[in-house]
Structure 1
Amino acid sequence: MIPTKPYAITFVCLGNICRSPLGEGIFKKLVKEAGREAEFHVESAGLGGWHAGEDPDSRSQIVARRHGVILDSTAQQFRARDLERFDLILALDEDIFDGLKRMAGNGPDRGKIHLLRETDPQARGDLEVPDPYYGDLNDFESAYQMIERSCRGWLERLPKR
């Protein structure tokens, strides 16, 4: 049997220190629990590069630890060349989604870009994960819950490889 290439997935927010590292960490935990680790390569990035090289925000780390999620990524900037590297590019809000779509233009990678909350059963038409950066731990917890529900939805949507 020929080995199947893993799904390459990235979560993209503004600076890659709050929401997208949570997406990466949560999704990695879920695929591990599902016994599907070999099926996925998961990363995260930010549209802006000003936090490149930094660890995730301490509040994201606190909330993640409460849920048994490890955030071991380092912030990096998403670049146009990354479009072809991923099978699924999940934007955390409309501005990020629009920025990624502009980056893709009318090229073949445009269809890979989605809003993360497309699979959140509680979204009720609001497909954004609000940026908790200027908020408190409650805002980070709220973001965590939205991201986790959405990640569960994406994992269910993607067929086993």
Structure 2
Amino acid sequence: MAMNSVHIGLSTPPKPPISHHSSFLSPRPHFYFPKKHPFIHQDSHYKTHKNNIITTPKRISSSMAAAATPSDTNKKPFSVLFVCLGNICRSPAAEGVFTHLVKQKGLDSNFFIDSAGTINYHEGNDADPRMKAASKRRGIEITSLSRPIRPSDFKDFDLILAMDKQNKDDILAAFERWSFRETLPADSYKKVKLMCSYCTKHNETQVPDPYYGGPQGFEKVLDLLEDACESLLESILAENSSSKGS
């Protein structure tokens, strides 16, 4: 398995293997979790080094200015977090696809977009080069670095999208363990949804992990993500438009 060999020196014992489940290989996933649960992650250890994330609110785009009220200009950008297992294939690709789509619409100042993993195994690493190459062929750049999900994500993001059911279960299980959940609305868990729930052209219910598959696996992931992201953006814009009119 290609595992960022630059980080494994002769004096450093190799890490135990991690299984990136792929539906192209086996219907039974196996996940590796470190003894210290990777969900327990301190914000002070996180470095904000993702180039395609809007980190501060900006003025809304000129295309929306005509319909905006004075209070709209100070409205917090809608925040979306994409989550998979290691944050090196599916979720960074989803981040890239959605960011690309938002920028094409001239709405980049209206969104805060990020991605994370349910484990910290690849923390600080670039996205899988095969995923980056497949995305680039479609004109989509992936520039983010892997990081694990952290407690504050439930406060910072309006929507958390899991790539598969196991990811969703792990996110919700972590949320139940974090004591700060008592400070959030009781229905905060509802912001966690499956990515494919937004698909309109495909019948898949999960985005398969392509890590051990061939090139067709990465193309399939991008097909699903492009489908879901288009519908996702339409849904968010429709909801925001509805809330303004109410």
CA distance in 2, matches of 1:54, 1:76: 8
Q: Secondary structure at the match of 1:24?
A: helix
Q: Which has the higher contact order (CA 8 A, sep 6+)?
A: 1
2:127–2:145 Cα contact (<8 Å) kept: yes
Structure 2 distance, partners of 1:87, 1:80, is 14
For residues 5-154 of structure 1, the aligned pairs below 5 Å read 5-105=76-176, 107-124=186-203, 126-154=204-232
Letter in 1 for 2:201: Q
Equivalent residues of 2:202, 2:227 under 8 A apart: no
Q: Is the 8 A contact 1:7 1:87 kept in 2?
A: yes
Any idea what the Cα deviations from partners look like across 1:77-117, whole Å, max 9, x if unmatched?
A: 00223211100000000000111122233844201101011
C-alpha distance in 1, partners of 2:175/2:119? 16
The alpha-carbon deviation at position 119 of structure 1 amounts to: 1.1
> Greater strand percent: which structure?
1
- TM-score under structure 2 length normalisation: 0.63
Distance 1:91 1:155 in 2: 16
Identity score, percent:
36
Counterpart Cα distance in 2 of 1:104 and 1:86: 14
CA distance in structure 2 between the aligned counterparts of 1:42 and 1:71, rounded to whole angstroms: 12
The CA distance in 1 between the partners of 2:125 and 2:219, in whole Å, is: 21
Aligned length: 160
Note the residue ranges of structure 2 that are not aligned, 5 or more in a row: 1-69, 242-246
Q: Which residue identity lines up with residue 130 of structure 1 in the other structure?
A: P
Superimposed CA distance per residue, residues 45-103 of structure 1 (whole angstroms, 9 cap, x where no aligned partner): 00000000000000101101000001010000002232111000000000001111222
